Each structure stands twice: as C-alpha cells, then as structure tokens.
C-alpha cells in the first residue's frame, strides 16, 4: 500500500514545492489540506486547483472561519489571552484547529503521514507536532523545511527545475502569517532590532500617527463573556471580529512591535497587528472589572498568563489547558452587559460600563450625599490588616 502524506497546504511557495519534493523523495501520494481561518488572499478554489496542479492526488479545502472564531478566538477573549502581556496569540490559536482538520483528513483519506512547512527555529513545529501527538499519535511526521534544510532559494530553484505552476519571486523580505484574529510579520530587515518597521509591513491597520478626523466610539455587548452585539446590532462571533478589525484597524489600533521569548529558547523580534483582538480583549477586561468579584478577579489574572503560555507553547490539548478552560468558563457567568469604548490614534480605552450583574455599588463608592459606607469600621480593619507586618517590623528593624 502506498503511503499517503496529509500536507498542511497554504498555497504558497514552500508548501507547493513540498508536494512534488515529497513525491520524489518518499514515493508517497500527497493530499493537500487547506484551512480557511480568515487569512484572506486567494479564494479556496484557486488554492485547491494549485495543489492538484503541483501534483497532489487530492486537495481538500475547509472553510473554518466560524469555527475558528467561536472555538478558538472566543476562548482567548474570555481568558484575556495575551502572551507576555502583549501578544493575542494570533498564529498560536490557529494551529490546533489546523491539526484537528488534518487528523480528520488523515482518517478520511487513508493518511499515514502528516507534513508541515515549519522551520526548526519557530514555535509552529511544536504546535503542530505536539498537537498530532495528542490527537493522532500514529501519524508519522515530515518537516522538509526543518529536517532537510530547505531555504527559499532552494525552493525556487526546485520549482523552476520541475516546472511547477507557481509564481514566486525573491523580492519579499518578510515572513507573514495571518488569520481572522490578526497578522504576524517577521524576518528580513526586521531582524535588526534597531530598524523601525516601514509602512509596507502593515495591512490590517492604518498609521496611528496620522491626524485622524475623529475618534470612533463603539458599544460592545457581552453575554456570559461572549461578545454578541456591536452598537446594539447582534452578530455572529465571526462578524463581530471582522467588524472590530475594520473599525479598530481604521484607527490604528492593535500594532505591536515586540521581542518575544520563543519556546525553543531564542528571542525573536515580531511585528503584529491585531486590531479586533486587542479591542475586544480591552472591552472584555473593562466589563470583568465591574462584574467579577475581587478575589476571583485576582486569581484569574494569574491564570490568564499561564493560559496564554500554554497556548503559545503548543499545549492546547494538554490536561492543564483543559482544566484552566473550565475555570475561565466559570468566571464568565456574570460577565454580561455593555462596554463603551473609544478608539483613536492607535489606542483604545473604555469610558463606560453598565451591567445588571455589576458589583459596583454607587452608594458605597460615593463620597457625596447618600454614602452608606460605615467609615467607623475602617480604623480597626486597617489595624488588623497590618498587624502581622507590624509585628515583623518590630522584630526585624527594632521598632
């Protein structure tokens, strides 16, 4: 029986070349699997046909935009998932979804191997391969770019030698990955940390230094932590992210220039633009501030960081990640209401909140007439709260 390789196919140079290369090197048949996670660009039928023209025996395309929005982006919003307190996990969120569909394709099409185009320096090799180990451990893995030292120049030369029907030049200086939740840009002149990004780096966001005519004020409605409406108009999760990408991006919101700690142990300069993700997480945090009890909120903030690290590190399917998902979901039971937010000049900030589940008590908070807070209790509270540190200070400093 001939081996069959299920290839994560993007339609670009590397994965197009990989089809013919794997046929020649392994004798296996290649099934190309393309997943639409809102990356834009070419339509699915064009990508499907290109895979067949490059030698795939079958080409599968899946429109997974709604699934990505509801089952991957939404949990990240509920968890306020920001790796290193900045990065909204754009690429990391899409990898377990791709793994899921590739494993399903392997069952359907008799796959014995899976293949990806990741290098040995990046995080995605881990996300894919650990994902397969957790969902389809019997599948063998081929990674041409990593294991056979493929370079862009080698890929172009191989394509020309074998008359592969692709159009690709050596001119693009960047490596780009994008989906519904954002866009990641790296390599090229960006590898020099002193070089500032030029305007051609960006596609999802306007230049925040431009003199915008007016701010954009938006009201986001949540039900149990789920964004359900924009300015009173109910939408699907996919539509809400798309709308916030458009409106926040038009105000320059969501640009990040960071040096992040990769899982493999190196630091890497990454440029991100994630307007919808940053805006929605900001709004969600604003509503949590008034609906989540103090001790629960404090503990959730520590969980959020760990949740983001697990997703970034490719452990989406891990027991700890699953357990933290249950915790996060429990915290969202009362995160319902409206958040009013202003977006302008590259920034977004909350300027209004209302919720029937609010824990904010005006009569306790006010300093004016109607104050119901009994301030006579505060003296004893302060004394007891600081008692243990007071005793220690007497011992340690001879007070």
Query: Are 72 and 101 a contacting pair, CB within 8 Å?
Result: no
Overall average pLDDT of the 241-255 stretch: 97
Please state the φ and ψ torsions of residue 193, each to the nearest 5 degrees: -65, -15
Q: Establish whether 243 is an annotated binding residue.
A: no
Q: Residue 172 — pLDDT band, cuts 50, 70, 90?
A: low
At residue 392, the pLDDT reads 96
CA atoms within 13 A on the CB side of 396: 6
Q: Is 32 helix (H, G, I), strand (E, B) or coil?
A: strand
Q: Establish whether 117 is an annotated binding residue.
A: yes
Q: Residue 171 — pLDDT band, cuts 50, 70, 90?
A: low
Overall average pLDDT of the 255-275 stretch: 96
Q: Establish whether 346 is an annotated binding residue.
A: no
Q: Establish whether 13 is an annotated binding residue.
A: yes
Q: For the ranges 110-114, 212-216, 331-335, 344-348, which has the lowest average pLDDT?
A: 212-216
Distance CA 124, CA 122 (A): 6
Given a cut of 90, whether residue 258 has pLDDT beyond it is yes
Distance CA 148, CA 283 (A): 45
Distance CA 40, CA 110 (A): 30
- Of the listed 3, 175, 261, 262, which one is catalytic? 175
Distance CA 250, CA 244 (A): 9
Q: What is the dihedral of CA 225, 228, 230, 234, to 10 degrees?
A: -170
Please state the φ and ψ torsions of residue 354, each to the nearest 5 degrees: -150, 140
83 DSSP assignment: B
Q: Residue 168 — pLDDT band, cuts 50, 70, 90?
A: low
Write out pLDDT tens, residues 2-20.
899 999 998 888 888 889 8
| Catalytic residue flag (residue 95) | yes
Overall average pLDDT of the 379-384 stretch: 94
Please state the φ and ψ torsions of residue 81, each to the nearest 5 degrees: -75, 105
Q: Establish whether 80 is an annotated binding residue.
A: no
Domain boundaries, the chain: 4-72+80-171, 176-292+334-354, 372-397
Q: How far is CA 342 from CA 175, 217, 226, 238, 276, in A?
A: 32, 4, 20, 21, 13
Q: Residue 114 — pLDDT band, cuts 50, 70, 90?
A: very high
To 5 degrees, how large is the angle CA 263–CA 129–CA 113?
155
Query: Pairing mode, if any, of strands 233-234 and 226-230?
Result: antiparallel
Helix residue ranges, H only, the chain: 13-26, 44-53, 65-68, 74-78, 90-109, 124-135, 144-147, 152-161, 237-250, 275-291, 294-312, 319-331, 362-365, 378-385, 387-397
Nearest Cα to Cα of residue 322 among 332, 307, 300:
307
Q: For the ranges 103-107, 120-124, 257-261, which has the lowest average pLDDT?
A: 120-124
Distance CA 89, CA 51 (A): 28
Q: Establish whether 272 is an annotated binding residue.
A: yes
**Residue 261 forms beta bridges with which residues?**
267
Q: Residue 35 — pLDDT band, cuts 50, 70, 90?
A: very high
| Catalytic residue flag (residue 91) | no
- Of the listed 4, 14, 50, 91, which one is catalytic? 14
For 283-334, the DSSP string reads HHHHHHHHHS-HHHHHHHHHHHHHHHHHHHTT-TTSHHHHHHHHHHHHHTTT
Given a cut of 70, whether residue 384 has pLDDT beyond it is yes
| 4-72+80-171 and 176-292+334-354, same CATH topology | no
Write out pLDDT tens, residues 43-76.
888 999 999 999 999 999 999 999 999 999 999 9
At residue 154, the pLDDT reads 80
At residue 173, the pLDDT reads 67
Q: Give the whole-number percent of the chain exceeding pLDDT 70.
A: 97
Query: Pairing mode, if any, of strands 267-273 and 233-234?
Result: unpaired
Cβ atoms within 10 Å, residue 396: 9
Domain covering 176-292+334-354, topology: 3.90.1260
Distance CA 88, CA 70 (A): 15
Q: For the ranges 67-81, 133-147, 161-175, which has the lowest average pLDDT?
A: 161-175
Distance CA 136, CA 108 (A): 13
Q: How far is CA 241 from CA 206, 235, 246, 342, in A?
A: 17, 10, 9, 17
Q: For the ranges 75-84, 139-148, 167-176, 377-386, which has the lowest average pLDDT?
A: 167-176
**Residue 32 forms beta bridges with which residues?**
7, 59
Mean per-residue pLDDT of the chain: 93
Strand order in the sheet with 140-142: 58-63, 29-36, 4-8, 113-115, 140-142
Q: Establish whether 260 is an annotated binding residue.
A: yes
Given a cut of 70, whether residue 169 has pLDDT beyond it is no
Q: How many residues does the chain have?
A: 399
At residue 51, the pLDDT reads 93
Distance CA 381, CA 368 (A): 23
- Of the listed 95, 183, 255, 353, which one is catalytic? 95
Cβ atoms within 10 Å, residue 365: 10
Q: Establish whether 83 is an annotated binding residue.
A: no
- Of the listed 4, 94, 124, 255, which one is catalytic? 124
Write out pLDDT tens, residues 367-377.
988 889 889 99
Q: Establish whether 360 is an annotated binding residue.
A: no
Q: Establish whether 368 is an annotated binding residue.
A: no
Matching CATH number, 4-72+80-171, of 3.40.50.620, 3.40.1390.30, 3.40.50.880, 3.40.30.10: 3.40.50.620
At residue 79, the pLDDT reads 98
């Amino acid at each position: 029986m001939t081996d069959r390789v299920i290839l994560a196919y993007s339609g670009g140079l590397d994965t197009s070349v990989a089809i013919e290369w794997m046929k020649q090197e392994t004798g296996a048949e290649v099934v190309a699997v393309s997943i639409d996670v809102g990356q834009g660009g070419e339509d699915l039928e064009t990508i499907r046909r290109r895979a067949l023209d490059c030698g795939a025996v079958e080409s599968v395309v899946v429109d997974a935009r709604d699934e990505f929005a509801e089952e991957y982006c939404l949990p990240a919003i509920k968890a306020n998932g920001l790796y290193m307190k900045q990065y909204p996990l754009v690429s990391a969120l899409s990898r377990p979804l791709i793994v899921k569909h590739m494993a399903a394709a392997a069952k359907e099409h008799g796959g014995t191997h899976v293949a990806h185009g990741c290098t040995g320096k990046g995080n995605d090799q881990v996300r894919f391969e650990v994902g397969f180990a957790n969902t389809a451990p019997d599948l063998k893995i081929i990674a041409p770019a990593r294991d056979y030292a493929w370079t862009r120049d080698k890929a172009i030369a191989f394509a020309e030698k074998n008359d592969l029907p692709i159009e690709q030049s050596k001119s693009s200086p960047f490596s780009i990955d994008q989906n519904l939740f954002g866009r990641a840009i790296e390599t090229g002149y960006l590898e020099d940390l002193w070089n500032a990004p030029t305007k051609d780096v960006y596609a999802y966001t306007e230049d925040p230094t431009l003199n915008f005519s007016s701010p954009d004020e938006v009201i986001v409605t949540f039900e149990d932590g789920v964004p359900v409406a924009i300015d009173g108009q109910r939408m699907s999760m996919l539509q809400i992210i798309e709308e916030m990408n458009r409106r926040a991006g038009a105000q320059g919101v969501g640009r990040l220039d960071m040096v992040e700690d990769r899982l493999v142990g190196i630091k890497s300069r990454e440029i991100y633009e994630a307007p919808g993700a940053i805006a929605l997480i900001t709004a969600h945090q604003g509503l949590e501030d008034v609906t989540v009890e103090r001790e629960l909120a404090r503990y959730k903030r520590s969980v959020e960081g760990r949740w983001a690290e697990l997703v970034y590190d490719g452990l989406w399917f891990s027991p700890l990640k699953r357990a933290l998902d249950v915790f996060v979901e429990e915290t969202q039971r009362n995160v319902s209401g409206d958040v009013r937010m202003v977006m302008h000049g590259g920034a977004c900030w909350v300027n209004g909140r209302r919720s029937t589940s609010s824990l904010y008590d005006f009569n306790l908070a006010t300093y004016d007439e109607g104050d119901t807070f009994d301030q006579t209790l505060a003296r004893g509270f302060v004394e007891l709260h600081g008692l243990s540190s007071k005793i220690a200070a007497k011992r340690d400093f001879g007070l």
